[in-house]
């Protein structure tokens, strides 16, 4: 109680102000909080002790007393008139607020008057803040997620009145006032909150009478994650049987947890090669840990990733498989290009050309020209000679395996190609001649069948063949003996050959011939040839 009284007296001394002092009167304003001890001064001019002091509140007497000893109030032990005429209020309540008048009688019947205005103030107290929806960490820090709607509420109590203010202190602002107002509570809201709204939010409750203030601060963190998937890459090592896999996922707050895992289906619960709280994770694996068709996946884990919206990146390993023509023929003193295509390897293979069974490295120069066009690797050999004949290897190696394409070059001299060309020409000539002869024979097939042969084709061009069925041969009975109807079971056809003049010269000879000669000609007509079909 003594400590409380001392605090109250100090408070009264600091807050009291003498307004007027004239003709033995003063006016003072005091503030006290409920529960405090208030001391209302009366005669403060000198060290004279009043003989009688009367205190009135709002025109009504509340207590009187005087002398060298304190005079307590019989009605309420909270009030007491001190020896110097001051009024001591033991336990201030809101009902003690008002205007007090002190009348002190001094020795010599002098009267001194003093007016005291007592204001009872309280608070701010019970100040509290609420921010949500949010998750609280163990240290009291609140967490919200980017894009959400966040509500802020501040409440408190002060007597007789208060002012509430929301303020923000962040990375780009010192202490900005967001909103303020009077009343028991104050609301504020942010829609689609962004990382820039991360910082310290403070609610300040201020008593407008006592000017007492209370601050309540809360740190608010805005968690966010990028919408994109992480990036998976690989970096070859000097030893091609090793490889380093890199995974990065920048732009998340706080730092995510990255894991390199072996993918074994939809649940992704395979072997875990590495996991760490970082935004970039690397892992180095050797050939014994890798296999054909194996899938490696990098998966980030973060509080801002909702269920069903997981992010990841992966790739499926494949060994190299170089492809190309295994046999190549080249002509001496020319150029030849060997082509090898490697498009299936994952990670990409290191592809090179080798020469001979010992697989010697090929040094680029004027003789050997190496070129690369995407997945196509070319080896051009200039001025080919017999020394270039042999086997060449297109060698592809990645961390999974080594594969080789074997290409054999055959070098031929120019004379070999000349003989081949001549042979082809002769063969074509023979085939063409055979076609012509066959066509000629086919077109003269009827003459050949009559036995004229090839030699009589030209001189017999004036003959006319008259074919008569054996059943109509009656008209020739005088010239030809009657033939039997069947020969060997076949019909017999009578054929007569008549000579027709083929030129004017023959016509003239015919005209000069006498009738006797014509008769002789008729009589000596060639015998009829009999052809059996």
- Rounded CA-CA distance 404/395 in Å is 4
Choosing from 291, 317, 343, the residue where a domain stops is: 317
The answer on 142 and 106 residing in a single domain is: no
pLDDT > 60? residue 403: yes
Q: Are 402 and 320 in contact (CB under 8 A)?
A: yes
Least confident of 94-98, 373-377, 433-437, 529-533: 529-533
Residue 1 has pLDDT above 50, yes or no: no
Q: Quick check: helix, strand or coil at residue 247?
A: strand
In 3D space, the residue among 215, 209, 206 whose CA is nearest the CA of residue 32 turns out to be: 209
More confident residue, 514 or 301: 301
Domain membership of residue 464 (yes or no) is: no
- 485 in any annotated domain: no
218 and 267 in a single domain? The answer is: no
Distance of alpha carbon 176 from alpha carbon 271, whole angstroms = 51
- Identify whether residues 368 and 353 lie together within a single domain: yes
Tell whether 307 and 328 lie within a shared domain: no
Q: Is pLDDT above 80 for 230?
A: yes
pLDDT, position 85:
86
Domain that holds residue 146: 123-223
- Asked whether residue 502 is domain-assigned, the answer is no
Q: For 166-221, how does the pLDDT look when each residue is reduced to its tens digit (9 = 90+)? A: 999 988 777 789 999 998 999 999 999 999 999 999 999 999 988 899 999 999 99
Domain end position, chosen among 223, 240, 257: 223
Closest CA to 128 of 242, 218, 192: 218
Give percent above pLDDT 90 in the chain.
50
Cα–Cα dist 510/524, whole Å: 15
For the domain that residue 202 is a member of, what is the CATH number? Answer: 2.60.40.10
The residue with tokens 């990098």 is: 298
Q: Does residue 465 or residue 373 have the better pLDDT?
A: 373
Under the banding of pLDDT at 50, 70 and 90, the label for residue 390 is very high
Residue 117 has pLDDT above 50, yes or no: yes
The residue length of the chain stands at 533
Q: Looking at the domain assignment, is residue 515 inside a domain?
A: no
User: Same domain for 146 and 190?
Assistant: yes
Looking at the fold, whether 48 and 93 belong to one and the same domain comes out as yes
Please provide residue 139's backbone torsions phi and psi, each rounded to the nearest 5 degrees: -90, 5
Query: Quick one: 179 and 165 in the same domain?
Result: yes
Question: What integer is the mean pLDDT of 432-460?
Answer: 67
pLDDT band (50, 70, 90) for residue 106: confident
Give the pLDDT score at 144.
96
pLDDT band with cut points at 50, 70 and 90 for residue 338 = very high
Terminal C-alpha separation, the chain: 161
Closest of 369, 406, 411 to residue 389, by C-alpha: 411
Query: Does the pLDDT at position 7 exceed 90?
Result: no
Mean pLDDT of 79-105: 89
**Same-domain pairing of 296 and 204:** no
- The answer to whether residue 313 scores a pLDDT higher than 70 is yes
Pair 261, 282 in one domain: yes
CATH number where 251 lies? 2.60.40
My answer on whether 264 and 212 are in the same domain is no
| Number of independent structural domains in the chain | 4
Q: What would the pLDDT profile of 459-478 be if each residue is shown by its tens digit?
A: 444 454 444 454 544 444 44
Structural contact between residues 258 and 224, judged by C-beta atoms closer than 8 angstroms:
no
pTM for the predicted model, two decimal places? 0.60
108 plus 142 within the same structural domain: no
Q: Residue 48: inside a domain, yes or no?
A: yes
- As a whole number of angstroms, the distance between CA 203 and CA 216 comes to 5
- The residue out of 369, 391, 412 marking a domain boundary is 412
The partner residues of 103 in beta bridges, in order of sequence, read: 54, 113
What is the C-alpha R_g of the chain? 64
Residue 248 in any domain: the answer is yes
Q: Is residue 471 part of a domain?
A: no
Tell whether 519 is covered by a domain: no
Same domain, 63 and 88: yes
Answer for the pair 313, 298: CB distance below 8 angstroms, yes or no.
yes
């Amino acid at each position: 109680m003594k400590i409380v009284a001392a605090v109250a007296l100090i408070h009264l001394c600091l807050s009291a102000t003498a307004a007027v002092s004239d003709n033995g009167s003063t006016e003072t304003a005091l503030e006290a909080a409920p529960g405090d001890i208030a001391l209302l001064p009366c005669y403060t001019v000198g060290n004279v002790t009043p003989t009688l002091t009367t205190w009135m509140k709002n025109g009504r007497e509340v207590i009187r007393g005087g002398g060298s000893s304190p005079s307590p109030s019989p009605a309420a032990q909270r009030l007491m008139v001190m020896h110097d005429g001051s009024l001591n209020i033991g336990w201030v309540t809101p009902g003690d607020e008002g205007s007090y008048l002190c009348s002190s009688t001094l020795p010599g019947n002098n009267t001194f008057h003093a007016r005291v205005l007592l204001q009872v103030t309280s608070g701010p107290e019970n100040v509290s803040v609420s921010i949500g929806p949010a998750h609280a960490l163990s240290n009291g820090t609140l967490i919200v997620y980017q894009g959400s709607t966040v509500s802020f509420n501040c409440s408190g109590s002060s007597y007789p009145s208060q002012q509430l203010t929301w303020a923000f202190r962040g990375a780009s602002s010192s202490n900005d006032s967001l909103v303020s107002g009077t009343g028991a509570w104050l609301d504020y809201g942010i829609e689609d909150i962004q990382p820039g709204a991360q910082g310290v939010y403070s609610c300040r409750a201020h008593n407008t009478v006592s000017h007492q203030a209370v601050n309540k601060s809360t740190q608010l963190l805005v968690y966010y994650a990028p919408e994109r998937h992480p990036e998976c890459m690989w970096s070859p090592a000097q030893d091609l049987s090793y490889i380093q896999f890199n995974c990065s996922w920048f732009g998340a707050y706080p730092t995510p947890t990255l894991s390199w895992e072996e993918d074994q289906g939809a649940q992704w619960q395979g072997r875990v090669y590495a996991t760490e709280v970082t935004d970039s994770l690397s892992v180095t694996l050797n050939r014994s840990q890798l296999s054909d068709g194996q899938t490696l996946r990098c998966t980030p884990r973060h509080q801002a990733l909702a269920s069903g919206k997981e992010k990841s990146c992966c790739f499926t390993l494949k060994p190299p498989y170089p492809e190309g023509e295994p046999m190549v023929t080249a002509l001496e003193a020319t150029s030849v290009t060997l082509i090898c295509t490697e498009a299936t390897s994952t990670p990409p293979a290191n592809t090179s050309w080798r020469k001979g069974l010992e697989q010697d490295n090929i040094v680029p120069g004027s003789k050997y020209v190496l070129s690369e066009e995407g997945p196509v690797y070319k080896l051009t050999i200039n001025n080919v000679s017999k020394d270039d004949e042999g086997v060449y290897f297109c060698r592809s190696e990645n961390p999974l395996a080594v594969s080789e394409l074997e290409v054999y070059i055959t070098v031929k001299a120019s004379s070999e190609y000349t003989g081949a060309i001549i042979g082809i020409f002769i063969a074509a000539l023979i085939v063409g001649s055979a076609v012509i002869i066959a066509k000629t024979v086919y077109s003269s097939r009827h003459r050949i069948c009559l036995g004229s042969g090839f030699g009589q084709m030209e001189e017999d061009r004036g003959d006319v063949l008259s074919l008569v069925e054996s059943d109509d041969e009656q008209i020739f009975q005088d010239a030809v003996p009657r033939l039997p109807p069947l020969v060997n079971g076949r019909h017999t056809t009578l054929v007569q050959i008549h000579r027709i003049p083929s030129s004017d010269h023959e016509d003239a000879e015919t005209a000069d011939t006498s009738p006797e000669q014509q008769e002789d000609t008729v009589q000596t007509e060639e015998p009829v040839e009999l052809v059996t079909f």
